[in-house]
Amino acid sequence: MNIMKPRYVASGLLIFALLYAVWAQRSPYTSADYTKYEYRIPMRDGKKLFTAVYAPKDDSHTYPIMLNRTPYSVAPYGVDNYRSSLGPSTELANDGFIFAYQDVRGAMMSEGDFVNMRPYSSRKDGPHDVDESSDAYDTIEWLVNNIPNNNGNVGLWGISYPGFYAASGLIDAHPALKAVSPQAPIADWFIGDDFHHNGAFYLAHSFGFLSTFGRPREELTQKFPPRFNFPSQDGYDFYLKMGPLPEANNKYLKNEIPFWNEIMQHGNYDDFWKSRNPAPHLNNIKPAVMTVGGWFDAEDLYGTLSVYKSIEASSPDAFNILVMGPWYHGGWTRSKGRVLGKVDFGADTADFYRREIEFPFFRYFLKGEGDLSLPEAYVFQTGKNLWKQEDEWPPAKAEKKTLYLCSDWKLDWSPHAVHSGDAFDEYISDPGKPVPYTNEISMGMTREHMIDDQRFASRRSDVLTYATDVLKRDITIGGPVIVNLNVSTTGTDSDFVVKLIDVYPDNARLSGFQQLVRGEAFRGKFRNSYSEPEPFVPGRITRIKYQMPDILHTFRKGHRIMIQIQSSWFPLVDMNPQQFTDIYHAKASDFIKATQRIYRSSSSPSFITVNEIN
């Protein structure tokens, strides 16, 4: 966003499955104030997309249209069956909008073939050149010309997968589309969203999601696919016994999940993955954009930041703002936003967002009402637990700082603290006994793991733990966290997981709590290229550098900053065989123990780089 222009004065599948059950209940409030209609809206290729429209019964006014496009069902179906709530919030429903919900192409009751994150097509030469951008365009064109009492303005929003459809609607946008809010949008399924992080396969989330959602639809249906029946609630035990990735099909999926099979054929960052990323196509953006995400979103934090930054770079004159709160995936709309796990943020942050940020945004751009005084970045500062308004993100007024791994398990800000000799620490990574990603017994990816206590991990011999002395002042870090490691391995491939942790003092309410602030895995063979992996040379010192998603966190006076390093995070991340191979087709015999060394000498230092905000 150009700051010189005038200022205006779990898993996602389980969440949506729960909402689906709620939506099936009739809502007296909704039916009292809105009338429901159902349409089959034709696209340019003749396919018809099922769309439910809720229009205010008071027809003495005109209203903007709020559109949500989803692969997760617009249930309940039938004009006499109403959703339990409308819009992204009750504030918008109370203020009066026309709400339209659409099953995307190939999903539920819409015609056509469903394609996961359908690639954008720059060609629009004929009626069959369709993508999610053209489907959004055709839908909006039909709505503004056929729905009575609309004012000609359309807003588009969505969370998670619907966030991807919201972002796609920005591309070649319809002139009536005035305001768009991609919320936790998927951007890149190989680099940082959902199924992979830095090339490392997110096993528990991928299997849990695709074992249900990935089942192909054979005909138009109003029923969401049945959930996979796990034989255990202990995910660590289940996936360890499952064995190498080919066993997922052999034992459970039976080759019935097409997209799982496609993933298994695309283990590198090829065009299959690149073509699905909408961010490179977010050019010449005309509608106002508000991208929303959570600092503790386990699924699509990468996509949130990527969509915002892509628009900022390509369309500097667009109204393009970022909102980040202390939320899990979708927590800004499904909770009060006060507590996550054991951490209390001191206020109902989601209520504040819906009332003071989201509602004014859509009301101003779609109705021309109210005074809009939103900053470039409305971001919640964890640790101190307060909202900050920034003129740009990341903040320009920040000082780059480096934390070095030192002897005696210390972290130090000075390079002079680094050992001058050939210093290193080492551990044995055993695929048979991987480091768990959480101390809780759970089947899939928990939302709380993004903020969990890490004391269970720091007690393991295959986890290296370094910490600063007790802080004598508050230290606030904002923006990306850059990892720089000098490593060696006795294998030819390895994962490296780095975690940034806030250690509470013993006299705190959470005595000794080691709160995860940010953690990311990196698949070592992609250290030079995600498209062209390379083996390690056993025993050779090799540099690994990667970027973890942004944070805004204050490490308080009396706390300590901690870094943990390990080579497994199971079953969140699948186990690396620690030999250079096609992991998606690995055999049990490919998995070996490996000795990992993390170097911390002046010639081969290991450190993280952060931005300190004063």
What pLDDT is attached to residue 465?
98
The Cβ of residue 172 has, within 10 Å, a number of other Cβ atoms equal to: 18
Joined tokens for residue 349: 């942050």
Nearest to 575 by CA among 245, 199, 265, 189: 245
Q: 3-class SS at 355?
A: helix
Tell me which residue has tokens 């629009």.
124
- Three-state secondary structure along 327-347? CCCCHHHHCCCCEECCEECCC
pLDDT by residue (tens digit) across 16-52?
444 544 443 445 568 889 999 999 999 999 999 999 9
Give CA angle at 422 (416, 425), nearest 5°. 90
pLDDT band at 4 (very low <50, low <70, confident <90, very high): very low
pLDDT by residue (tens digit) across 55-114?
999 999 999 999 999 999 999 999 999 999 999 999 999 999 999 999 999 999 999 999
Q: Is-contact 600 404, C-beta < 8 A?
A: yes
C-alpha span between 519 and 531 (Å, rounded) = 23
pLDDT by residue (tens digit) across 399-418?
999 999 999 999 999 988 88
pLDDT by residue (tens digit) across 231-280?
999 999 999 999 999 999 999 999 999 999 999 999 999 999 999 999 99
Residue 148 vs residues 29, 53, 96, 419: alpha-carbon distances, Å = 22, 11, 14, 73
Joined tokens for residue 73: 């069902």
Which amino acid belongs to residue 261? N
Burial letters 443-463, b for 16+ CB under 10 A, else e:
bbbbbbbbbbbbeebbeeebb
Q: Is-contact 23 84, C-beta < 8 A?
A: yes
C-alpha span between 297 and 531 (Å, rounded) = 26
Domains delineated in the chain = 12-188+276-390 (3.40.50.1820), 206-273 (1.10.3020), 398-613 (2.60.120.260)
Which amino acid belongs to residue 71? P
